[in-house]
Each structure stands twice: as structure tokens, then as C-alpha cells.
């Protein structure tokens, strides 16, 4: 039997492929979470409160922009380290990982890749340290899976532009110092704008009533004739490909993160199956329990191999968007299935907050929807293998 199946688990000895730095990063993240987050997360989740005091600590452990070079305040780690940090954060809570992956891949990444030197100097070090928080506004009330249809727009006004429109479902929004907002210019071309807290006409009200991702804060972004300096437009890339390339980075992190949630559910189910006795034997002695556990570890191992290889491809700059879609979709799907099976192994105890399984399960319902829904990723794979996009349908006249 492979060793230490609880804490990793590592059935195929993938640790042999990790560098000492990878393992150090993973252990440091895990230790910080154990000390600072595990004892409080359930309480914040139940109260639907965002543990804002953790933001600085996340910066200190390098969870904001792990791959951002040191010259801009980041730790300059590789993609596998980034993935391992996301795995450990989401092993604790998907909301914690959300805060970090939005800041890293959806705020710092576009500024780093497409920002001017002035924009990078102004924002990246503060975002890396957790002195500033950011958000990413792509989704609108009427445009979720189809961001190309967005109506948020800006018009020229001397050395400023005037921004109007609204975004919704925006992670970190109410507390953000800067929002990376995607909007159309007068020709309909999409650009990224850095909209700063306090700009007149800009508000970010909190969205309440979430029964998932409760320890993460979500809001709207409302722009009512906001005057944004032209120097706040990201100069490096325009068109829908710009925000979608940021999603590639975030979806990669989610593939690792979901694996973390799956590992935690498996770990708890395995322990419980050895401790809980019914009919005079541990429930782990029943073949039906073993089937569940065997299938869980099989799926986790397959997902680990997929994710590790994707990390290598990302490090070499060779991963395609479609490969990332496959990993995001697969890993979230297996994590949700594992959470459901693990909950069953725990019987009634599985629905209580004494264990994190039910929280993971509810969180994963957001994860399976955001950053491209489960079905949109399926269609991306379908398009990749057939060469035929199937997103848009021409309906007959009704
Ligand atoms: P389509 O015509 O296929 O593409 C438009 C242009 O974009 C290029 N492109 C990409 N570029 C980089 N990376 C990608 N992944 C790309 N996918 C496409 C493409 O080559 C094209 O370039 P060009 O130069 O030819 O113009 O676009 P479409 O309108 O048909 O849409 C395709 C579709 C449906 C796959 C895309 O719209 C999509 O992915 N929709 C899902 C939307 C989504 O994922 N939203 C996420 C919002 S952010 C979020 O959820 C954060 S959650 C945060 C958290 O808390 O963790
Ligand atoms: P819709 O697009 O309306 O989809 C509804 C259903 O229709 C889905 O099942 C979908 O798969 C299906 N569907 C749609 N189009 C097709 C098609 N062509 N073929 C087949 N089926 C289709 N967005 C941001 O920009 N920034 C954020 O920080 C952010 N954070 C979020 C945090 C949370 C907690 C949540 C829940 C969402 C967040 N989002 C964010 C928004 C998220 O990206 C969208 O919810 C997601 O893209 C889906 O859009 P929608 O909810 O409008 O669903």
C-alpha cells in the first residue's frame, strides 16, 4: 500500500517528481492554513463572513501571484508551485482559494501581462503583499457564459474615458482597491480598464444570500458615468482573447484547487471508515464502503497525473486552453462526486459542520459553474476535437 495516504494522498508516488522547492511551498502553505485558517473557517462560513484579516497573511506566504517575478514583488515560483498552493488552500476552503486565484490570475496576471510599466509598478507589489485587494469584472447580469455579448462600454473624453454598465457575481468586489473591468470601446472592441476604489460613480455592493462559497465575498460592480484616465487602460492586448487568457491561468489553479477539496473529503471518509463500527465491524470492512474509497483514490490519482502534466506544459508555455478546460472540468466533477460519496460514508455525521465535507460540497457547486460552466468546458473540448464550435445556435422563427 502507498504510504501516507491520508495527508497527500500520493498513490502513484508523484512526490518523487516534485522538487524540494515544490514540497517546501506545499508544506509551508499547509502549515500556515493549519495554524491560521482551519480553526476559524467553519465559523466564518456559517456566518457568511469573509475572513479579511487573512489577506495580509496570504500575501506573506506567497499565495498572491506566486509566479509573478520578484522585481514586481511576487515570489517568482513556477506553475506547479502555484498549483500546489491552490491545492492546499482549497483543501481548506474553496472560498479561500477563490480570493487567492482571483487576486493572482485575474488581477495580477492581466496587469503583469498587459499592463504598462507604470501600472505594474503601481499595483503589483501591493497586490502581492496583500496591502491591496483586487477583483475581475467580466460577467454581467445578461452575459455569463457568453461574455462577448457584454454591454458595459466606454466613450472617449479627452485624456479620460467615460465608463457605463454593470458586472455581477464578482469575487472580492466589495473590498477591492482595484477592479480589472472588461468593457467595449466605441467600435465594440473589448479592453481591460483599471477602475479604482473611490472613483466617482463607481460602487461595488455586496451580493448576499449565497448558500455556497459563503466565506468568500461577492459583489456587483456598477459604473455610472465613471471618468477613468486613459492611462488606466491595459495597453498590451485587446479583444475577448485578453480576458480569456486570464481565465486560462485561473482555471489551471482551479484544477489543482478542486483536487485539494477532493483529497480532504477522501481523507475524512477513509479515517471515518476505520473508526466507525456497525454490525460489530468498522464500516471500512464492508465491500460497498471499500468500493467508494477505491473509486475515490483512483479518480484522485488520475486527476493528479493530469494536473501535474498540465503544470509541466504550463511551465514550458505549451498548455493549450482546451487542455486547461479538460482539467478544470474533470477535477471539479470528480471532487463533487467524491464529496457526495464521502458524505454518505459519514452517514448522518456527514451533514454536520463537525466535518468539512458538506461545506466542500456546497462550495464546489460554485466552482463547477464559475470560470466557465461544466458544460461550456465540455463544449470547448468538443470544439477542440471536431474543429466545430457549437456555442451559438440559430433558432428557427417561432
Ligand atoms: P471565441 O470566438 O471562441 O474567441 C474569441 C477570441 O478569444 C480567443 N480565445 C482565447 N484566448 C485565450 N485564451 C482562451 N481560453 C481563449 N478562448 C478563446 C479566440 O481565439 C478568439 O481570438 P480572436 O483573435 O480570433 O478574436 O469566443 P466565443 O464568444 O465564441 O466564446 C467562447 C467561449 C464560450 C468558450 C468563451 O466565451 C467562454 O469561455 N465562456 C465562459 C465565460 C467564463 O468562463 N467566464 C468566467 C468569468 S470570471 C469568473 O468566473 C471568476 S470566478 C473567480 C473565483 O472566485 O475563483
Ligand atoms: P449562464 O451563462 O446563464 O448559464 C446557465 C446554464 O446554461 C448553464 O448550465 C450553462 O452551462 C448553460 N449554457 C449557457 N450557454 C450554453 C451553451 N452555449 N451550450 C450549452 N449550455 C449552455 N464572474 C466574473 O467575471 N468575476 C468573478 O470574480 C466571478 N466570481 C464568481 C463567484 C461566484 C460565487 C459565482 C457563482 C460566479 C462568479 N462569476 C464571476 C460568474 C461566473 O463566471 C458565471 O456564473 C458563469 O460564467 C456562468 O454564467 P451564468 O451564471 O450567467 O450562467
pTM of structure: 0.97
Question: How many distinct structural domains can be found in the chain?
Answer: 3
Angstrom distance (rounded) from CA 279 to CA 92: 33
2 located within any domain: no
Angstrom distance (rounded) from CA 61 to CA 74: 11
Cβ of 369 less than 6 Å from ligand 2: yes
**Pick from 269, 214, 221, 387: which is nearest to 9 by CA?**
269
Instruction: Based on the fold, state whether residues 322 and 369 are members of the same structural domain.
Output: yes
Q: Which pLDDT tens digit goes with each residue over 247-290?
A: 999 999 999 999 999 999 999 999 999 999 999 999 999 999 99
DSSP 45-96: HHTT---GGGHHHHHHTT-SSTTS-GGGTS----HHHHHHHHHHHHHH-HHH
Three-class SS of residue 166? strand
Beta partners for 192?
Answer: 182
**Pick from 206, 250, 247: which is nearest to 90 by CA?**
250
Angstrom distance (rounded) from CA 398 to CA 236: 44
C-alpha grid cell, residue 184: 467595449
CATH number of the domain that residue 33 is part of: 1.10.540.10
Instruction: Based on the fold, state whether residues 195 and 294 are members of the same structural domain.
Output: no
Cβ-contact 255, 307 below 8 angstroms: yes
Instruction: Based on the fold, state whether residues 382 and 352 are members of the same structural domain.
Output: yes
Q: Which pLDDT tens digit goes with each residue over 47-95?
A: 999 999 999 999 999 999 999 999 999 999 999 999 999 999 999 999 9
Cα end-to-end distance, the chain, whole Å: 61
For residue 4, pLDDT beyond 60: no
Q: Let me know how many helices (H) and strands (E) the chain has, helices first.
A: 12, 9
For residue 351, pLDDT beyond 80: yes
Q: What is the pLDDT, as a whole number, of residue 7?
A: 67
Instruction: Please choose from 94, 96, 97, 139 the residue to mutate so as to test ligand 2's pocket, defined by most ligand atoms within 8 A of CB.
Output: 139
Cβ of 213 less than 6 Å from ligand 2: yes
Q: What is the pLDDT, as a whole number, of residue 1?
A: 39
Instruction: Based on the fold, state whether residues 200 and 275 are members of the same structural domain.
Output: no
Atom of ligand 2 nearest to the CA of 143: 52
The H or E element that residue 203 is part of is: strand 202-203
C-alpha grid cell, residue 249: 491561468
Among all bound ligands, the one having the nearest atom to the CA of 146 is: 1
Instruction: Based on the fold, state whether residues 184 and 124 are members of the same structural domain.
Output: no
Residues 6+ apart with CB under 8 A from 279: none
Instruction: Based on the fold, state whether residues 214 and 155 are members of the same structural domain.
Output: yes
Domain enclosing residue 250, as ranges = 241-386
| Positions marked active-site | 371
Per-chain mean pLDDT for the chain: 96
Distance of CA 214 to the CA centre of its chain: 14
Instruction: Based on the fold, state whether residues 142 and 124 are members of the same structural domain.
Output: no
Residue nearest ligand 2's atom 49 by CA = 144
**Boundary (domain end) residue, out of 202, 232, 262:** 232
Angstrom distance (rounded) from CA 18 to CA 219: 38
Instruction: Based on the fold, state whether residues 194 and 275 are members of the same structural domain.
Output: no
C-alpha grid cell, residue 301: 490519482
Q: What is the largest CA-CA distance in the chain?
A: 80
CA angle 186, 188, 189 (to 5 degrees): 105
Cβ of 76 less than 6 Å from ligand 1: no
Residue nearest ligand 2's atom 21 by CA = 375
312 — pLDDT class (breaks 50, 70, 90): very high
Amino acid at each position: 500500500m502507498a504510504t501516507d495516504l491520508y495527508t497527500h494522498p500520493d498513490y502513484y508516488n508523484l512526490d518523487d517528481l516534485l522538487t524540494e522547492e515544490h514540497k517546501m511551498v506545499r508544506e509551508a502553505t499547509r502549515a500556515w492554513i493549519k495554524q491560521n485558517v482551519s480553526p476559524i473557517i467553519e465559523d466564518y462560513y456559517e456566518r457568511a463572513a469573509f475572513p479579511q484579516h487573512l489577506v495580509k497573511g496570504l500575501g506573506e506566504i506567497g499565495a498572491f501571484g506566486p509566479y509573478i517575478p520578484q522585481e514586481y514583488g511576487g515570489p517568482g515560483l513556477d506553475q506547479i508551485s502555484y498549483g500546489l498552493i491552490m491545492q492546499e488552500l482549497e483543501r481548506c476552503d474553496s472560498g479561500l482559494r477563490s480570493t487567492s486565484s482571483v487576486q493572482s490570475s485575474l488581477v495580477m496576471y492581466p496587469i503583469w501581462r498587459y499592463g504598462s510599466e507604470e501600472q505594474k509598478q503601481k499595483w503589483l507589489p501591493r497586490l502581492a503583499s496583500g496591502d491591496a485587494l483586487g477583483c475581475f469584472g467580466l460577467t454581467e447580469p445578461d452575459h455569463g457564459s457568453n461574455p462577448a455579448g457584454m454591454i458595459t462600454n466606454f466613450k472617449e473624453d479627452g485624456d479620460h474615458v467615460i465608463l457605463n454598465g454593470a458586472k455581477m457575481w464578482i469575487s472580492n468586489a466589495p473590498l477591492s482597491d482595484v477592479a480589472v473591468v472588461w468593457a467595449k470601446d466605441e467600435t465594440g472592441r473589448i479592453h481591460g480598464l483599471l477602475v479604482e476604489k473611490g472613483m466617482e460613480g463607481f460602487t461595488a455592493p455586496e451580493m448576499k444570500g449565497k448558500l455556497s462559497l459563503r466565506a468568500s465575498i461577492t459583489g456587483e460592480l456598477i459604473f455610472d458615468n465613471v471618468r477613468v484616465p486613459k492611462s488606466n487602460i491595459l495597453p498590451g492586448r485587446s479583444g475577448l482573447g485578453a480576458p480569456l487568457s486570464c481565465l486560462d491561468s485561473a482555471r489551471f489553479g482551479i484544477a489543482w484547487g478542486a483536487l485539494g477539496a477532493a483529497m480532504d473529503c477522501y481523507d475524512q471518509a477513509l479515517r471515518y471508515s476505520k473508526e466507525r463500527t456497525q454490525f460489530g465491524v468498522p464500516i471500512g470492512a464492508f465491500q460497498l464502503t471499500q468500493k467508494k474509497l477505491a473509486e475515490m483514490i483512483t479518480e484522485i490519482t488520475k486527476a493528479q497525473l493530469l494536473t501535474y502534466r498540465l503544470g509541466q506544459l504550463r511551465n514550458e508555455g505549451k498548455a493549450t486552453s482546451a487542455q486547461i478546460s479538460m482539467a478544470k472540468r474533470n477535477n471539479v466533477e470528480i471532487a463533487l462526486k467524491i464529496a457526495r460519496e464521502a458524505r454518505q460514508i459519514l452517514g448522518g455525521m456527514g451533514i454536520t459542520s463537525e466535518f468539512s465535507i458538506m461545506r466542500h460540497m456546497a462550495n464546489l457547486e460554485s466552482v463547477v459553474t464559475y470560470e466557465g460552466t461544466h458544460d461550456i468546458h465540455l463544449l470547448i473540448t468538443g470544439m477542440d476535437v471536431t474543429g466545430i464550435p457549437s456555442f451559438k445556435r440559430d433558432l428557427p422563427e417561432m
